[in-house]
């Protein structure tokens, strides 16, 4: 017996082709939800650290979608923590103020004047923008600086770089308190030394340190590249999954080099600290967080610890 066509029950005046298309679209949406359900169940209650950067921060449409994704993660039971930088925004304001930036080994030399601009941009502008975008969907996000509640303690990396810091200690008490209140911490990456001197710290490094201290289930990096590529000129050479030992081999072979090294170091620190997996994602893809977390086909690079060694034969 042939199954009945649901469009046969509709009045003749209705455009059957249009209704059939609507039914097909609804079936596709239902399929997406069914695919996502086991992942939602698996990650319910898990802490995920999201390092937010690149064009996803600058493009208004992508920024709004990022906020939607973070709220959705929160709504289905995950505990997102957002960590952000703001290098392009800092550079833009410095140029508008007529302040020349100097870079050494990829790091901005940060004198007292530049530090004031960095704090103004990161804490007073970028952080507030992210918090506001999330809070459009409800009173959920709370903005923090690494200086708040002694979260990030650091020392000056190199006097020639000025007020650029290396992390010496992390205290996630304030983050855990906010998470326990079902809020979303949004962290800007200004820390302080033991004397209270503010220091600008690499956002990738802060994200990795916080993820390790929180023992997050996942850390997700949003940037302007699709992930790790064996050939930087060939997007098809994306490495979908890689272990820590394989990462070291890629560094030795020169596949990972230059500006990618600090990001990878932060990833390795997170995995060593107990984070189950780290994901490098292209933040220019709309809803990339949801695609990576809740679908069968991950679209970035996933970094995991080495598998345990097999037991020795007696």
- Beta strand 184-188 with 79-84 is parallel
27/185 Cα distance (integer angstroms): 36
Nearest to 186 by CA among 74, 289, 304, 283: 74
Q: Residues near 194 by Cβ (< 8 Å), separated by ≥ 6?
A: 153
191, containing H or E segment: strand 190-192
Q: If you count them, how many residues does the chain have?
A: 314
Nearest to 198 by CA among 147, 160, 149, 161: 147
129/147 Cα distance (integer angstroms): 19
Tokens of 309: 């060694």
Q: State the catalytic residues.
A: 51, 54, 87, 204, 263
Tell me the C-alpha to C-alpha distance, in Å, between residue 232 and each of 237, 254, 300: 8, 11, 14
């Amino acid at each position: 017996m042939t199954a009945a066509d649901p469009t046969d029950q509709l009045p003749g005046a209705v455009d059957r082709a249009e209704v059939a298309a609507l039914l097909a679209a609804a079936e596709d949406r239902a399929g997406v939800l069914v695919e996502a359900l086991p992942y939602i169940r698996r990650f319910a209650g898990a802490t995920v650290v999201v390092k937010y950067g690149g064009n996803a921060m600058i493009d208004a449409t992508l920024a709004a979608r990022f906020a939607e994704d973070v709220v959705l993660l929160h709504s289905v039971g995950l505990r997102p923590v957002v960590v952000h930088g703001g290098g392009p925004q800092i550079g833009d304001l410095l140029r508008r103020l007529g302040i020349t930036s100097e870079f050494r080994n990829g790091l901005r030399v940060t004198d007292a004047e530049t530090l004031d601009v960095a704090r103004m941009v990161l804490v007073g502008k970028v952080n507030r923008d992210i918090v506001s975008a999330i809070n459009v969907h409800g009173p959920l996000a709370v903005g923090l600086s690494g200086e708040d509640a002694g979260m990030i303690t650091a020392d000056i990396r190199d006097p020639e770089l000025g007020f650029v810091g290396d992390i010496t200690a992390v205290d996630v008490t304030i983050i855990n308190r906010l998470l326990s209140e079902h809020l979303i911490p949004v962290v800007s990456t200004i820390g302080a030394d033991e004397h209270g001197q503010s220091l600008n710290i690499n956002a990738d490094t802060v994200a990795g340190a916080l993820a390790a201290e929180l023992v997050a289930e996942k850390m997700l990096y949003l940037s302007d590249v699709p992930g790790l590529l064996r050939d930087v000129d060939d997007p098809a050479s994306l490495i979908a999954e890689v272990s820590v030992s394989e990462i070291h081999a890629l560094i030795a072979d020169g596949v990972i080099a230059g500006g990618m090294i600090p990001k990878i170091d932060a990833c390795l620190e997170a995995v060593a600290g107990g984070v189950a997996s780290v994901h490098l994602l292209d933040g220019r893809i709309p809803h990339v967080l949801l695609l990576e977390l809740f679908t069968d086909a991950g679209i970035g690079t996933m970094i995991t610890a080495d598998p345990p060694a097999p037991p020795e034969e007696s």
